[in-house]
């Protein structure tokens, strides 16, 4: 057991173990190296704070266990995994062991006032070791670098370094910048002193919270357009202060910052730009530290909810086990489907907005929404596919559309219409169950849609009559599809032929003037833009709207279609369509929307006359 030295000194508040032993050696007139060697202490054990060496120093300095424990806690005792025990916390070693040793020159000058041996009086404080500490609260100045070396044993020989620099320190060559301590500085000092924290930040390790204050402060600076700053002490002080002001507001304040960054992002911004520098630091540099898991999760959750990260990608240090979002582009790449077709199919199921004209990579949607309709989406096809599947000719299909018996799932200006295969097959399922087998060309039978046209019978009424068993249906042997469905001509005549049934149904009139959009003419009638004649069927009591000659005149007097314009001018339909587009003539607009295919007569003739003056004036 070692005896206490005759010449001793007392530890100063927050003094590190290395500083104290250096002063103890100076008091006894020897270097730190000689002091350790003379008492047979292992030099490596000294710098590693091995318990036997620390205990020997305690005996030589006649210190109480509490004094030794206090100094060691301000110094940082090495632990496994490149960590240190420091002020009741486990902190990564490089957070308190830096090549650059900082301090407050005013504190060191104050130490030597009235002292005969400056080196024996100057004490290095433990808070100066922590890289997150930037301010001396006593003198309200920034800490300054005192010396720097990459060799730990040289760096931690406090006596040798202060001996070399003491005259410069005392002479005022080292000076910190005056600064007003921030709330972060006060919080950090209090937490180091008390080793407790009753704010929500106390739930997390000191180094984690201090690092988050740094990163959040940089994100705030980046948001304010000062991303390149943060290199000098003043900027670092401001960064930590700004980050702490956010962090002390609780998790809600941090989440509000993250949400604001998401809301303010440009369409092409990725997560690394939006969450700079949190995304890179937490997701790559600091993945070794589980203390940051909570904050990594906050950002990862938002990344996965915002960007279409694929299964298997690494996001914030964690592999994505299941994709949450798709974009049109990523779904196209994954399925091999054409992106334009996918866009229309997704719009049909209202998974995306049909009017969203952003690039494919920027339109995202939940994978679950897609999975729910994946099978249905595969049934969404173009018109020709539906016609082929149901065995209908183009005129037959147009008739069904005109009657509203089938409609596109997606339709709109500048959008190719897309249809559901199921809708077409449902028509067959509606007509075929009770169909009789009939021979090709058998007398008395007529194809269902031909019957509607010949006898001016609405298709929808025929469909209803078939469904109620009031009409017999036949199917031509050896043929399939809608074209093979026939009805008896005499039954159609008996049911629908009536003197009152003259003129055309609104939809049929629309077809006659080249308007194939279902309900277009009816919209004009309902809004009072053209007349219609209502006739009551004496046998059924059903009121029918019929377009008679005066009604047709009320339409032609006010409106034109491409077909009727072609008839009046002799200009081809395709040339007229291009002319109207180039002159900006748009479909007639009603309070309930545009009437596709129908145009104001004056606007059409104005465009025709402007383009082709030889075609005369408006009639």
3-state secondary structure (DSSP) of residue 141: strand
Q: Are 144 and 214 part of one and the same domain? A: no
Q: How far apart are alpha carbons 21 and 158 in whole angstroms?
A: 9
Interval 339-365 mean pLDDT: 82
Quick one: pLDDT at residue 371?
Answer: 60
Report the mean per-residue pLDDT for the chain: 88
Q: How far apart are alpha carbons 600 and 560 in whole angstroms?
A: 6
Provide φ and ψ at 81, rounded to 5°: 75, 35
Strands 559-560 and 599-600: antiparallel
Q: Are 85 and 166 part of one and the same domain? A: yes
Interval 338-351 mean pLDDT: 78
Quick one: pLDDT at residue 385?
Answer: 83
Q: Is position 10 within any domain?
A: no
Instruction: Assign 540 a pLDDT band (cuts: 50, 70, 90).
Output: low
Q: Is position 373 within any domain?
A: no
Q: Is position 395 within any domain?
A: yes
Quick one: pLDDT at residue 288?
Answer: 86
Instruction: Assign 431 a pLDDT band (cuts: 50, 70, 90).
Output: confident
- Report which of 339, 307, 343, 338 is spatially closest to residue 323, judged by C-alpha positions: 307
Q: Are 302 and 403 part of one and the same domain? A: no
Instruction: Assign 416 a pLDDT band (cuts: 50, 70, 90).
Output: low
Beta bridge partners of 315: 318
- Whether residue 461 is predicted with pLDDT greater than 90 in this model: the reply is no
Q: Are 120 and 68 part of one and the same domain? A: yes
Q: Is position 571 within any domain?
A: yes
- Report which of 266, 273, 222, 219 is spatially closest to residue 246, judged by C-alpha positions: 219
Domain end call among 319, 354, 388 = 319
Q: Is position 57 within any domain?
A: yes
The continuous run of DSSP H or E covering 279 comes out as helix 278-280
The continuous run of DSSP H or E covering 562 comes out as helix 562-569
Q: Which residue has the higher pLDDT, 181 or 483?
A: 181
Instruction: State pTM to two decimals.
Output: 0.63
Instruction: Assign 81 a pLDDT band (cuts: 50, 70, 90).
Output: confident
- pLDDT tens-digit readout, 484-500: 899 998 888 877 756 45
Quick one: pLDDT at residue 538?
Answer: 39
Strands 415-420 and 445-447: unpaired
The conformation of residue 361, written as its DSSP 8-state character, comes to G
Interval 562-583 mean pLDDT: 90
- Could you tell me the two tokens for 464? 């209803």
Q: Are 56 and 187 part of one and the same domain? A: no
Quote the number of domains for the chain. Answer: 4
Domain end call among 319, 337, 363 = 319
Percent pLDDT > 90 in the chain is: 54
Q: Are 222 and 293 part of one and the same domain? A: yes
Interval 397-416 mean pLDDT: 76
Quick one: pLDDT at residue 352?
Answer: 83
- pLDDT tens-digit readout, 109-138: 999 998 889 999 999 999 999 999 999 999
Q: What size, in residues, is the chain?
A: 619
Interval 144-156 mean pLDDT: 94
Q: Is position 216 within any domain?
A: yes
- pLDDT tens-digit readout, 322-343: 888 888 888 888 777 778 877 8
Quick one: pLDDT at residue 611?
Answer: 76
Quick one: pLDDT at residue 562?
Answer: 92
- Which of 177-186, 237-246, 536-545, 574-583 is predicted least confidently? 536-545
Q: Are 162 and 187 part of one and the same domain? A: no
Q: Is position 324 within any domain?
A: no
Q: Are 513 and 490 part of one and the same domain? A: no
Q: Are 187 and 307 part of one and the same domain? A: yes
- pLDDT tens-digit readout, 16-34: 999 999 999 999 999 999 9
What lies within 8 Å, CB to CB, of 53 at 6+ separation is 41, 42, 45, 46
Strands 144-148 and 100-103: antiparallel
Q: Are 543 and 478 part of one and the same domain? A: no
**Alpha-carbon dihedral 133, 137, 141, 143, rounded to 10 degrees:** -30
- Whether residue 618 is predicted with pLDDT greater than 50 in this model: the reply is no
- Whether residue 413 is predicted with pLDDT greater than 80 in this model: the reply is no
- Whether residue 228 is predicted with pLDDT greater than 90 in this model: the reply is no
Q: Are 398 and 462 part of one and the same domain? A: yes
Instruction: Assign 227 a pLDDT band (cuts: 50, 70, 90).
Output: low
Q: Are 160 and 224 part of one and the same domain? A: no
Q: Can you give the residue range of the structural domain that contains 273?
A: 183-319
- pLDDT tens-digit readout, 42-71: 999 999 999 999 999 999 999 999 999 999
Q: Which residue has the higher pLDDT, 337 or 286?
A: 286
CB distance 175 to 233 below 8 Å? no
- pLDDT tens-digit readout, 82-108: 899 999 999 999 999 999 999 999 999
Domain end call among 114, 136, 170 = 170
Quick one: pLDDT at residue 426?
Answer: 86
Q: How far apart are alpha carbons 518 and 510 in whole angstroms?
A: 8
Q: Is position 391 within any domain?
A: yes
């Amino acid at each position: 057991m070692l005896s206490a030295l005759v010449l001793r000194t007392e530890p100063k508040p927050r003094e590190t173990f290395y500083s104290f032993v250096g002063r103890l050696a100076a008091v006894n007139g020897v270097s730190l190296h000689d002091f350790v060697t003379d008492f047979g202490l292992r030099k490596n054990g000294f710098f590693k704070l091995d318990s036997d060496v620390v205990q020997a120093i305690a005996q030589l300095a006649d210190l109480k266990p509490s004094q030794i424990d206090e100094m060691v806690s301000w110094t940082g005792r090495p632990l496994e995994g490149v960590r240190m025990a420091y002020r009741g916390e486990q902190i990564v070693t490089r957070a308190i062991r830096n090549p650059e040793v900082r301090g407050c020159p005013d504190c060191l000058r104050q130490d030597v006032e009235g002292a005969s041996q400056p080196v024996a009086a100057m004490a290095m404080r433990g808070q100066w070791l922590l890289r997150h500490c930037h301010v001396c609260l006593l003198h309200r100045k920034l800490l300054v670098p005192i010396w720097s070396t990459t060799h730990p044993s040289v760096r931690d020989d406090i006596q040798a370094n202060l001996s070399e620099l003491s005259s410069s320190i005392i002479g005022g060559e080292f000076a910190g910048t005056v600064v007003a301590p921030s709330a972060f500085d006060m919080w950090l000092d209090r937490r180091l002193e008390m080793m407790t924290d009753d704010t929500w930040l106390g739930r997390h390790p000191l180094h984690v919270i201090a690092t988050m204050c740094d990163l959040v402060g940089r994100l705030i600076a980046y948001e304010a357009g000062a991303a390149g700053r943060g290199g000098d002490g003043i900027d670092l002080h401001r960064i930590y202060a700004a980050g702490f002001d956010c962090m002390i507001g609780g998790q809600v304040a941090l989440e509000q910052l993250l949400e604001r960054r998401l809301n303010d992002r440009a369409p092409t911004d990725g997560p690394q730009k939006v969450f700079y520098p949190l995304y890179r630091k937490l997701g790559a540099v600091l993945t070794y530290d589980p203390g940051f898991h909570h904050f990594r999760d906050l950002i990862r959750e938002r990344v996965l909810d915002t960007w279409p990260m694929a299964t298997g990608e690494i996001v914030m240090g964690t592999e994505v086990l299941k994709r949450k979002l798709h974009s049109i582009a990523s779904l196209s790449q994954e399925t091999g489907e054409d992106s334009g077709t996918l866009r229309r199919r997704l719009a049909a199921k209202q998974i995306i907005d049909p009017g969203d004209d952003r690039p494919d990579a920027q339109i995202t949607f939940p994978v679950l929404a897609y999975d729910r309709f994946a099978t249905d989406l595969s049934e969404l096809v173009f018109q020709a596919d539906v016609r082929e599947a149901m065995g209908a000719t183009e005129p037959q299909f147009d008739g069904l559309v005109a009657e509203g018996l089938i409609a596109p799932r997606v339709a709109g200006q500048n959008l190719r219409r897309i249809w559901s295969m199921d809708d077409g097959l449902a028509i067959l399922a509606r007509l075929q169950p009770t169909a009789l087998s009939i021979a090709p060309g058998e007398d008395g039978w007529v194809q269902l849609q031909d019957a509607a046209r010949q006898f001016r019978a609405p298709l929808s009424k025929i469909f209803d009559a078939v469904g109620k068993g009031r009409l017999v249906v036949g199917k031509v042997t050896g043929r399939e599809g809608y074209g093979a469905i026939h009805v008896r001509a005499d039954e159609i005549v008996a049911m629908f032929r009536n003197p009152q049934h003259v003129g055309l149904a609104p939809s049929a009139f629309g077809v006659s003037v080249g308007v194939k959009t279902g309900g277009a003419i009816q919209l004009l009638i309902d809004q009072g833009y053209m007349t219609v004649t209502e006739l009551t069927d004496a046998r059924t009591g059903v009121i029918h709207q019929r377009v008679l000659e005066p009604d047709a005149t009320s339409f032609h007097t006010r409106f034109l279609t491409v077909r009727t314009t072609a008839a009046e001018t002799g200009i081809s339909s395709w040339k007229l369509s291009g002319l109207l587009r180039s002159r900006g003539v748009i479909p007639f607009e009603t309070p309930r929307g545009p009437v596709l295919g129908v145009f104001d007569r004056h606007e059409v003739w104005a465009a025709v006359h402007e383009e082709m003056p030889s075609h005369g004036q408006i009639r």
